[in-house]
Amino acid sequence: MLSSEISKAGFFPGARFFVKSRVYYSVILALFMFSFSSILPVSLRADQPGALNLNLMPYPARVNLTGGEFRLTEKFYVGGHVKPDHRVFKAACRFMSRLAARTGLFFEQDYLAGQPVNDQTVFLYHFERPGQLVPGEDESYLLEINPEKIELKAKTDLGLLHGLETLLQVLSADSAGYYFPCLQIEDSPRFTWRGLLIDSSRHFMPVEVIKRNLLAMSAVKLNVLHWHLSDDQGFRVESKSFPRLHQLGSDGLYYRQAEIIDIIQLASDLGIRVVPEFDLPGHSTSWLVAYPEYGSLPGPYQLERKFGVSSPVFNPAEEKTYKFFDRFLKEMTFLFPDPYFHLGGDEVEPKHWKENPEIQKFMKKNKISDEAGLQAYFNRRLLQLLTKYHKKMIGWDEIYQPGLPKNIVIQSWRGQQALVDGAKKGYQGILSNGYYIDLVESAERHYLNDPLPSDSLLTPEEKKLILGGEATMWAELVTPETVDSRLWPRSAAIAERFWSPKEIRDVDDMYKRLRIISLSLEENGINHLKNQPMMLRRLAQSYEIGGLEVLARVAEPVKGYARHSQGKTYNSLAPLTRFVDACFPESLEARDFRQKVEKFIGNRDLRQAEEIKGCFRLWQENHQKIVRLANFSPILKETVPLSASLLTLSQIGVEAVDLLMKGKPAEPSWLEEKFKQLEEARKSVAECQLAIWPGVKALLDCLKK
């Protein structure tokens, strides 16, 4: 088999912004040729003449391109020996529906009614046994395509689900029509736990949000939905044992049990486990609004609107607390069939424990030296209940205490060292540190973060304890309208890190493939691309949003937790409808621009200089459009200073390119002034930052030499 290889092409979708101006014709032409060549599903690979470079994500473990094509026609008959209620049958139906939608072909086969194997069958799938939705299950598959037939086989039906997604990704086109390249793919995941956390507590995520994201997860071979269902801001599950939990702790926004069963069934059909999280004993205000008698102080309590770490916490010293959880866990462990149950355990604020004399007396009586020991006592009691109901416990770093059984899973949010320390003590773990996608970091940063880095000092046996990782979408600053744009496409890059061989780390190629996968995610209902213009139209109260789009494409939200310190007070009722919310976490246009600058600095090519100056001129002329829009839309006034900074950067950039092309040294006083302007333009405005700033700085730095 040929080892997996990846190309270094790129794609610049922002080229469409240049179309209206003949002044930039040469820029348009160059960018169009650049974009068109890389948007094709396959391209020639220079190091292997005649071979095809597949835009797959996650990239398979082994790929062998055998030459030739399977041409797709309306006589594309699919067959496998499964009943219509089987998840493979459903997956094959979805596959055929998506294939028809992509190609416009009217397939002759009634694939919804039956998929018999006969002389007409050209795509045959089969598996040896049903797969269990548990860690460690076999998810491998073998895909073989020749000019006459396609065969997909796997040990379990889970492998078939992954193989169907890969087959869709290799769909290719030329002037003669659609085809699948002839190949052999032998694939299996690197890690068994490939998760995505969705927080439905801080902002409620309706059923349709969860369902469309399950479909997207399946498309990139993620296999665990970690569902964060309770926190200070809301308790989101109907409880028939304790109905006041959802009646008083949710603002009326919760999942009915029938809806949860429906979501779990869809997840099962997609080969995805659903692991619920009820965060305990802290982050528990919403519970205590309904049942204050289980709190460490008398209350009353009210739903928390602010974000952060709150003081309300369950009382571990009262026996009635554990009777309450016995009934609650009996109900919820029956509702959620996964063998694992997440009890949170993070960020417990001990203030109320310290203020309760009875709790302090309990600690002294039981020789519990500190609040960490008290939490460990609480965890052990809940672990006994989970064990009683045949569940394994998973929790955040803080749950670890000596004496816990080795079948628990520790989820590390504080750093890789916690994961390593747990493995050295014999505990299974998954990594989330470095995968907090709510912090709007770059796909590159997440992609190069690894649950098992190449320099790991763990022994082979200890490495087996690292089950994988989870991307985490905390919901302080997202709503159902914006959550998709924060999740995707960056989660696809994380999915590749969890699935593909560790040697696949080419960042440029990852971005090239990521853009294409981003487009295909839309067929699963993901709104990450289409919601931006909708939000900008609402802000502008106009269809004429070209200027806003230009600005949004080179702006990014401030990183990390910086939005909480920019002057606005965010809580669960705050509007998340401003310009910053419409901006993507990462500007791919700005990344392309930086690469153009780097190439220009290296060769001082005239054509590249004109392309870069064309970008600068576009951004300069855009400022007046923003000013005009802001005159009629007060909510957009905060974008005017941001646009003015873009104007400044563009003016600096044009002058710098001209000096570099003329080969003239820059006057020290001119450089000093421009660097001052550069630093001023670097400051965040309207909770945004201009992502082209590094490219402009590189031009000025070049003039210092």
Which are the catalytic amino acids? Answer: 347
Secondary structure (H, E, C), 392-429: EEEEEHHHCCCCCCCCCEEEECCCHHHHHHHHHCCCEE
Q: Closest Cα partner for 160 from 59, 83, 235, 92?
A: 92
Which residues make Cβ contacts (< 8 Å) with residue 202, sequence separation at least 6? 231, 233, 234, 307, 474, 475, 476, 572
Which 3 state secondary structure label does DSSP give 667?
Answer: coil
661 burial via Cβ count (<10 Å: 0-12, 13-18, 19+): middle
Q: Closest Cα partner for 678 from 653, 643, 703, 705?
A: 653
Q: In the numeric block, which tokens belong to residue 44?
A: 């020639």
Q: Closest Cα partner for 458 from 427, 488, 423?
A: 423
Q: What sign for the dihedral angle of Cα 560, 584, 413, 294?
A: positive
Which residues make Cβ contacts (< 8 Å) with residue 186, sequence separation at least 6? 1, 60, 61, 62, 140, 142
* DSSP for 63-88, written as a single string: EEEEEEEEE--TT-EEE-S--TTSHH
CA distance 171 to 174: 11
Q: Closest Cα partner for 453 from 197, 190, 136?
A: 190
Q: What is the biggest distance separating any 2 CA atoms in the chain, rounded to whole angstroms?
A: 83
Cα-only R_g, the chain: 27
87 phi/psi in degrees, rounded to 5: -65, -25
CA distance 157 to 160: 5
657, containing H or E segment: helix 639-662
CA distance 206 to 214: 13
Secondary structure (H, E, C), 260-329: HHHHHHHHHHCCCEEEEEEEECCCCHHHHHHCHHHECCCCCCCCCCECCCCCCCECCCCHHHHHHHHHHH
Which 3 state secondary structure label does DSSP give 143?
Answer: strand
